[in-house]
Amino acid sequence: MPYRILFFALACCFALSACSSPVQVVDEGRFITMARRMPEELQARGLLDSSRSYRPAPVETTRPYGTILFNRLSPAFIADVALVPPAMDFTLMAVGGRVQKDSKGFVIQSRPYRITTKMVANVDWEGKGSEAWLISCLVEPRSGRSYEYYLVLPQPLPARGLVKAKVVAVSECFGSSCTTFVRDRFTAVSAPAADPKAPKTEVIESIPGLNDVTKPPRPQTQNKELQEKSL
């Protein structure tokens, strides 16, 4: 009997079965958008099950993510050097523009661009039982292509100073058509360069109507805290 249990556990972890770890979603809309853009990657990391559904974890006490990210997150991940010169932070980028902060994140509105940074979810990105923040940063110029950066920030944060998040994917969008550059593959070497078009990254074309996510099976009644949600 123990051998059967062990075999089942290994099959869940490595064969992308129906097993998935709970996800503490902060911004459901942005998590669903990311899941639709790169479902295979989230399945490989155990954040989606084989039916492309996730299990929401119990919601924690609301934290001031907007203030924390605005004051502590380094914008060095943004590829546009003209937009983010060295030693720049979001507080300096906001000078001369408008800032709106809430419990999920912040928005900087200036004449040349709009930057929307939001906390998406608490996840175990590495599959090692450690918590990390999954963050979205959408950079929209007045005209042209927009870029949505998906970032992972390990917890807990250091006591002081700016913190750098790891870019795990970038979605380049023109209108409703997007191309997602997956930089931090679960089973492959990630691209070391800051350029989202680096050759070692995986490219996934995303067009409206494609990459639909199926409905989950009916939730189990035994555990009312963890229920699968449709994407």
Work out whether the CA dihedral 21, 25, 159, 170 comes out positive or negative.
Answer: positive
Is residue 49 within 8 A of residue 18, CB to CB? The reply is yes
Is residue 40 within 8 A of residue 66, CB to CB? The reply is no
How many CB atoms sit inside 10 A of residue 194's CB?
A: 13
* pLDDT tens digits along 85-140: 776 899 998 988 999 999 999 999 988 899 999 999 999 999 888 899 999 999 99
Mean pLDDT over each residue of the chain, to the nearest integer: 78
Is residue 41 within 8 A of residue 186, CB to CB? The reply is yes
The pLDDT value given to residue 211: 41
* pLDDT tens digits along 141-195: 988 899 999 999 999 999 999 999 999 999 999 888 899 999 888 854 343 444 4
**pTM metric for this prediction:** 0.76
Calculate mean pLDDT across residues 69-75.
96
**Statement: residue 1 has pLDDT above 70:** no
**Statement: residue 218 has pLDDT above 80:** no
Q: What percent of the chain has pLDDT over 90?
A: 49
The pLDDT value given to residue 189: 37
Calculate mean pLDDT across residues 200-207.
52
**How would you class 151 by CB atoms within 10 Å of its CB: exposed for 0-12, middle for 13-18, buried for 19 or more?**
buried
Residue found under tokens 């990459």: 211
Q: Cα 98–100–105 angle (5° rounding)? A: 135
Local confidence band at 227 (pLDDT 50, 70, 90 cut-offs): low
Length of the chain: 231
Residue 7 host element (H or E): helix 2-14
Q: 164 Cβ partners below 8 Å, 6+ apart?
A: 74, 76, 77
pLDDT higher at 3 or 72:
72
